[in-house]
C-alpha cells in the first residue's frame, strides 16, 4: 500500500511515466509515441491533459513533433557524463567557457572541506562546460590561497592540462577524491546558465580532491541538469572490501 498518494497534477504524472520509459529504453530513440487517442485511453485522461504532458516532454527535448506524422522520441540517447573525471576541452565535443576567476570568501561547506579558517579567502574558478554547443555543467572550483595565489589557478585564462596538472606541478598531486551527490531544484542562475526547462531538477556534485597525507587542495560544486544527462561511475574490484567479503 502506498504511504502517500502522488499530489502532482495529472499531466505531470503522465509526463513522468513517459519520461521514465524513454530513459529506460522501453521507448526507443526515434520511436513514435502512441496517438493522443491511445494515450487518452491508456492513462484515462482528458485530451488536454495528454497535450500538457507531451508539451512538458517537448520542452525537455525528450520528444519532438513532426507535423502530420505524430510525436517521436528524441533520436539521441542521454549524454553519459563521467562523474569520476573532469572532461577537458578537445575530443568528444567537449569545450568550456571560463566565466569568472576571483578571490572570494568560500561557502560554508567548501570552507569546512578545505579546512579554511573563518574570514580567510580562496581562489574561485567558475566555468560552463559545453558538449556540441549545448550547456552541460556549471562548476565552481575553490583552492586555498596559499596553494593557488600567483599560479595559473588564479589567472583569468584557460589552463593547459587543467587544474590537476597545475596542482601536480605545485607539488600537490591528486591522490584521491570524494564525491557527494544530491538532487534539488535549480537556482535562477542555474536555470539560465544551463538553459533548463521548467520544473527540471539538477544534480549537485560536491567534490573534494586530496593530495598526499589526505590534505584537501580543491573543492568543487558541479551542477548538471537532471533531464538529459546520466552520471557514470566506475570502481575497480577490491576483494577485501567488496560485498560478501569475509573479514
The reply to whether 105 falls in a domain is yes
Tell me, yes or no, if the pTM score tops 0.85: no
pLDDT of residue 234: 76
- Burial class of 183 by CB neighbour count within 10 A (0 to 12, 13 to 18, 19+): exposed
Looking at the chain, the whole-number percentage of residues with pLDDT higher than 70 is 88
Q: Mapped to the 3 state alphabet, what secondary structure does the chain carry?
A: CCCCCCCCCHHHHHHHHHHHHHHHCCCCCCCECCCHHHHHHHHCCCHHHHHHHHHHHHHCCCEEEECCCEEEECCCCCEEEECCCCCCCCHHHEEEEEEEEEEECCCHHHHHHCCCCCCCCEEEEEEEEEECCEEEEEEEEEEEHHHHCCCHHHCCCCCCCHHHHHHHHCCCCCCEEEEEEEEECCCHHHHHHHCCCCCCCEEEEEEEEECHHHCEEEEEEEEEECCCEEEECCCCCCCCCCCCCCC
Reply yes or no on whether the pLDDT at 67 is more than 90: no
**50-66: per-residue pLDDT in tens?**
999 999 999 988 999 99
Q: Are residues 149 and 171 in the same domain?
A: yes
User: Which CATH number do you get for residue 106?
Assistant: 3.40.1410.10
Half-sphere exposure of 57 (CA within 13 A, CB side): 28
The reply to whether 66 falls in a domain is yes
Reply yes or no on whether the pLDDT at 79 is more than 80: no
The reply to whether 5 falls in a domain is no
Domain end residue (candidates: 36, 57, 73): 73
pLDDT of residue 4: 80
- Burial class of 230 by CB neighbour count within 10 A (0 to 12, 13 to 18, 19+): middle
Lowest model confidence (mean pLDDT) among 81-85, 109-113, 127-131, 202-206: 81-85
Q: Are residues 21 and 115 in the same domain?
A: no
pLDDT of residue 105: 95
What nine digits make up the cell of 134? Answer: 549545448
**80-92: per-residue pLDDT in tens?**
767 665 544 445 6
The reply to whether 237 falls in a domain is no
Reply yes or no on whether the pLDDT at 68 is more than 90: no
State how far the alpha carbon of 224 is from the alpha carbons of 18, 140, 187, 199, 238, in Å. 22, 12, 12, 14, 30
Q: What is the extent of the structural domain holding 42?
A: 10-73
Lowest model confidence (mean pLDDT) among 22-31, 35-44, 139-148: 22-31
pLDDT of residue 246: 37
Q: Are residues 109 and 215 in the same domain?
A: yes
The reply to whether 241 falls in a domain is no
Domain end residue (candidates: 19, 50, 73): 73
How far apart (Å, rounded) are the C-alpha atoms in residues 163 and 88?
A: 10
pLDDT of residue 87: 45
How confident is residue 121, by pLDDT bands cut at 50, 70 and 90? very high
Domain end residue (candidates: 49, 73, 97): 73
Give the end-to-end CA distance of the chain in Å, rounded to a whole number.
39
The reply to whether 239 falls in a domain is no
Reply yes or no on whether the pLDDT at 119 is more than 80: yes
Q: Are residues 122 and 196 in the same domain?
A: yes
The reply to whether 91 falls in a domain is yes
Q: Are residues 91 and 63 in the same domain?
A: no
Q: Are residues 84 and 146 in the same domain?
A: yes
User: Which CATH number do you get for residue 63?
Assistant: 1.10.10.10
Q: Are residues 133 and 224 in the same domain?
A: yes
**122-167: per-residue pLDDT in tens?**
999 999 999 888 898 999 999 999 999 999 999 999 998 899 999 9
The reply to whether 56 falls in a domain is yes
Buried b (16+ CB within 10 A) or exposed e, 23-61: eeeebeeeeebeeeeebbeebebeeebbebbbebbebbe
pLDDT of residue 88: 46
Residues in a beta bridge with 158 = none
Amino acid at each position: 500500500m502506498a504511504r502517500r498518494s502522488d499530489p502532482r497534477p495529472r499531466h505531470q504524472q503522465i509526463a513522468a511515466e513517459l519520461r521514465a520509459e524513454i530513459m529506460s529504453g522501453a521507448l526507443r530513440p526515434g520511436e513514435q509515441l502512441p496517438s493522443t487517442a491511445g494515450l487518452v485511453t491508456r492513462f484515462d485522461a482528458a485530451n488536454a491533459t495528454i497535450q500538457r504532458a507531451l508539451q512538458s516532454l517537448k520542452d525537455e527535448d525528450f520528444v519532438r513533433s513532426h507535423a502530420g506524422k505524430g510525436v517521436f522520441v528524441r533520436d539521441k540517447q542521454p549524454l553519459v557524463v563521467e562523474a569520476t573525471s573532469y572532461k577537458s576541452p578537445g575530443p568528444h565535443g567537449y569545450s568550456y567557457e571560463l566565466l569568472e576567476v576571483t578571490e572570494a570568501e568560500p561557502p560554508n561547506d567548501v570552507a569546512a572541506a578545505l579546512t579554511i579558517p573563518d574570514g580567510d579567502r580562496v581562489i574561485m574558478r567558475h566555468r560552463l562546460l559545453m558538449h556540441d554547443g549545448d550547456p552541460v555543467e556549471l562548476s565552481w572550483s575553490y583552492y586555498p590561497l596559499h596553494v593557488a595565489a600567483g599560479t595559473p589557478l588564479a589567472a583569468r585564462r584557460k589552463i593547459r592540462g587543467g587544474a590537476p596538472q597545475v596542482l601536480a606541478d605545485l607539488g600537490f598531486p591528486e591522490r584521491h577524491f570524494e564525491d557527494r551527490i544530491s538532487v534539488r531544484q535549480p537556482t535562477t542562475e542555474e536555470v539560465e546558465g544551463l538553459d533548463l526547462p521548467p520544473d527540471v531538477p539538477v544534480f549537485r556534485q560536491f567534490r573534494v580532491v586530496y593530495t598526499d597525507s589526505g590534505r584537501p587542495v580543491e573543492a568543487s560544486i558541479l551542477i548538471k541538469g537532471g533531464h538529459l544527462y546520466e552520471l557514470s561511475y566506475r570502481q575497480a574490484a577490491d576483494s577485501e572490501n567488496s560485498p560478501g567479503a569475509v573479514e
